[in-house]
Structure 1
């Protein structure tokens, strides 16, 4: 399985696109605010191997990079853009990264894990939060569109 970051327990790609299965991805206006959220989750009992912050440039340039995508992967990406799935989230991530945003990843394989994480994250007001399930992306906090 293709993976760009060892942190992800179940890999970070599916069909050639960034897809960290069983993770919540939360976007913050700065890496500093993502780090605050990371520390708070650790204080609330999440393990160090379950929570990690990253800069916008790392997410866009390393995790979501398509530089090594095969022809078939690129075709799948075009199909997903046409039906409005993962590719739209990547565009939102790019806009946040360009504004200097930070990202937080939380391993949440079960619904209770997700509830625990969101109880911590919601008061910290991320710009968005979504969870990558095996067959869908669940919007947890999401504006109509992330602005450039």
Structure 2
């Protein structure tokens, strides 16, 4: 697994796949839109080290890349994909990145944090938003697959 991003306060992998625990991940049409949402969150009191915009290529090539995964990591990824967990979201992220999309990451360890952050994110019309919990991924905003 490649080195990931020191921005994340907790582990950013599960079963060898990208899984930023206690973070909201929102997808946007482009980096400008994601950065504008980041600025709006900071203006609404979110600490600058709690939120970050990133290009689609950064997310796919650095965060979700598994080029150097060993046999055991690949087995865990296959297992996760077969039971429909984070692998499906990685496929969605790849689709968004390929068409120039970008991402926003916001640390939301509590339900109150999530509600406060999502109130701002929704005003910026993300394509999707999901929250990574310890045992599940919560869909906050998710369109039909044809929209991603």
Q: Which whole-Å deviations, capped at 9, do the CAs of 1:68-100 have from their partners, x for residues lacking one?
A: 212111111111111111000000000000010
Q: How many angstroms apart in 2 are the aligned matches of 1:106 and 1:68? A: 27
Question: What secondary structure sits across from 1:49 in the alignment?
Answer: helix
Post-superposition offset of 1:11: 2.1
Matches within 5 A, 1:53-68: 53-68=53-68
Q: Does 1:45 align with 2:45?
A: yes
State whether residues 17 and 77 of structure 1, in contact with CA within 8 Å, keep that contact through their aligned partners in structure 2: yes
Post-superposition offset of 1:15: 1.4
Matches within 5 A, 1:1-148: 4-145=4-145, 147=147
Q: Which runs of 5+ in 2 are unaligned?
A: none
Q: How many angstroms apart in 2 are the aligned matches of 1:132 and 1:55? A: 19
State whether residues 30 and 101 of structure 1, in contact with CA within 8 Å, keep that contact through their aligned partners in structure 2: yes
Question: What secondary structure sits across from 1:104 in the alignment?
Answer: strand
Q: Which whole-Å deviations, capped at 9, do the CAs of 1:33-76 have from their partners, x for residues lacking one?
A: 00000000000000011000000000000000011212111111
Post-superposition offset of 1:147: 4.5
Post-superposition offset of 1:3: 5.3
Q: Which runs of 5+ in 1 are unaligned?
A: none
Q: How many angstroms apart in 2 are the aligned matches of 1:82 and 1:107? A: 28
TM-score, normalised to structure 2's length? 0.96
TM-score, normalised to structure 1's length? 0.96
The alignment yields a C-alpha RMSD, in angstroms, of 1.3
